[in-house]
Structure 1
Amino acid sequence: MDTMMAKQQERLKTRRVRRGNSLYISASIIAVLLWSTSFVGTKIAYTSFPPLTLGAARFVIAAIILGLILLIKKDKLKPSVKDIGLMSISGVLGTTLYFSLENIGVELTTASNAAIIVASYPAITALMEFLFFRKKTSWVKAIGIGVAMIGVYQISYSPETQTDDKQLVGNIILIVAGFIFALYNFTTRKVVKKYSMITISFYQTLAGAITFIPVALIEKASWQTPDIKSFLILLYLGVFCSVIAFLLYNFGLRKLSSSSAMTLMNLVPIFGVLFSVLLLNEVLSINQLIGGVIIILGVVLSMRETSKKQVLESK
């Protein structure tokens, strides 16, 4: 009798943990969804803004919005000088460095190459977790990441050999961006449980915006008055893809490991294809459809392993 009751309590606890995890996973997925739309928006905005200028303007808008929210919210818990330093470092990593590299890389290479490289980010993060934190990667998680990368390859594969030097430079830049974003994950996790999402995102975005401005001055000769469409896209990138997406992603990092959160980045190609079909009237090929299913399977495998591990750790 006691054994049956213990098993029942264990099942209930498992369900509660999974329901709780689903909230953090959902938040991360929505963040990835918003970031996926930023690729389309960024391409449109390039008609008026050069890459670094677009990044700086986007995060200046985000910093102002987050600052206003923080003032209204009146958060009584003030970060320590050390934690402000950590949030500032993560802001420079995840805002200035990452988006500078991403914007330049996306401009230089093809969308297919970018999708393949983004799929490598979870593996990069898992590798860095192992090297710097001695965190072992289970076979289930490794298989899940591998399956997801196979799915991205299925979507992105082109029989034509890429020999363009400019594309090669863009690919290398995007790979470096993956390491930068992994460092952003590690740094953010040190403070993410101490303060509200608004507080963390504000200090991150403020530091990123401040350091982005002098970088954007490099493109001063290319500045021009933006058209209405580009300006509206800029506002969208600043509000939804910067403020809301980062709040949701940081919220997800409260429970998800860095590599698990990064595994969700494999959904970017799926969302990218979806937006291409809906907004650009592109036709979905059978290879893309099969690849999307494989990616979803890989992500589910990785997240399922994480949920089981968190259940054991909560006992």
Structure 2
Amino acid sequence: MIERKALDVRASSIMFGLCILWGLQQVVLKMAAPDISSLMQVALRSGLSALMVYPLIKLSTGNSLWSKDYLYPGLVVALLFAAEFFMLAQAIRFTSASHAVVLLYTAPIFVALGLHWKLPSERLSILQWGGIFIAFLGIVVTFVGRDGSSRHDLSQMLFGDFLALLAGMLWAATTISVRLTKLSDAPATQTLFYQLAGGFVFLFPLTFVLGQATIHWTTLAISSLIFHSIVISFASYLIWFWLLKSYLASRLGVFSFLTPLFGMLFGVWLLNESIEMNFIIGTVMVMMGVLVVSLQGWLKPKNGNA
């Protein structure tokens, strides 16, 4: 078994940079949405990134993409990945990018709950249950007590927030499916390819069905596609998988709470979004809960591995 290291300065700096990029992606999606719908952006970036990942599979593994051991669970995670980003793309149409990124990153809470019921080694401690309780209270707080908007605008934003929360649940379901199937033994590039290819195959036709296929090839639209295809879906994910192979996952997971914070900051800065006080309070509670759940792995590592 590969001995994974505790975080050093290099790994911490890389994770900090990744969190900035991941916090920025929803904001860029919304910025470019007038020229190319968020759904089309996600579909095209998935397809372009899959084309870049495919040659790496041939170089790194002898596994067949079409083997029944990998293909069936691969189809499941492909469908879940597509569903997650469908929900996220629709959420961005109705709510702010700041709200979307925070609610998307509730995923670690749902992962912890799902694995608790499936794997004895992932049983939650009393401390972690407390973190989950705080996180769920925080989710409730983000949805209540809003004012200052018309009833129509408020209902749209709440609907968008709900879709973003569903996207977080689907992200968790994808992670759990990878963990509980043969894909847990497959190279990261192969698992990533199934998700990206599925994102394109399932979402691209939907852009036409839903009337979201129009593209205005502006500088912003092209820049967004380049950013999401090369920087996010290809480079950042491969760097993340490399970190997971080299360093303790529990240590890396603690950084996850930074991403929504960066997302909120970018939303305010680049999109002039306003953040309600109840949402700020709820976000702090959610991130505290995620941090408590993640820190359990930090405080009690198992045999030096994660």
TM-score band by shorter chain is 0.7 to 0.9
Superposition CA RMSD, Å: 4.2
Q: Counterparts of 1:43 and 1:59 in 2: how far apart (Å)? A: 17
Residue 123 of structure 2 corresponds to: 136
Residue 217 of structure 2 corresponds to: 226
Residue 170 of structure 1 corresponds to: 160
Residue 44 of structure 2 corresponds to: 57
Residue in structure 2 matching 1:103, options 66, 83, 89: 89
Give runs of aligned pairs for residues 114-129 of structure 1, distance below 5 A: 114-115=100-101, 117-118=103-104, 120-129=106-115
Contact preservation (8 Å) 1:59, 1:209: yes
Shift of 1:149: 7.2
* 1:69-101 Cα deviation digits (max 9, x unpaired): 335x2533445322122123212212x111110
Contact preservation (8 Å) 2:47, 2:197: yes
- Closer, same or farther in 2 for the Cα pair 1:215/1:86, shift >3 Å? same
Residue in structure 1 matching 2:238, options 247, 265, 270: 247
Matched residue type, 2:173 = L
Larger-Rg structure: 1
- Closer, same or farther in 2 for the Cα pair 1:171/1:155, shift >3 Å? closer
Matched residue type, 1:208 = G
- Closer, same or farther in 2 for the Cα pair 1:64/1:100, shift >3 Å? same
**TM-score if structure 1 supplies the norm length?**
0.73
Residue 91 of structure 1 corresponds to: 78
Shift of 1:171: 2.4
Shift of 1:176: 2.0
**TM-score if structure 2 supplies the norm length?**
0.74
Percent identical across equivalent pairs? 20
- The answer for unaligned runs of 5 or more in structure 1 is 1-15
- Note if 1:186 corresponds to 2:176: yes
- The answer for unaligned runs of 5 or more in structure 2 is none
- Closer, same or farther in 2 for the Cα pair 1:129/1:24, shift >3 Å? farther
Matched residue type, 1:45 = A
Contact preservation (8 Å) 2:27, 2:271: no
Contact preservation (8 Å) 1:116, 1:153: no
Contact preservation (8 Å) 2:106, 2:290: no
Matched residue type, 2:79 = V
Shift of 1:19: 1.3
The answer to which of 233-242 and 83-92 deviates more is 83-92
Give runs of aligned pairs for residues 28-43 of structure 1, distance below 5 A: 31-43=18-30
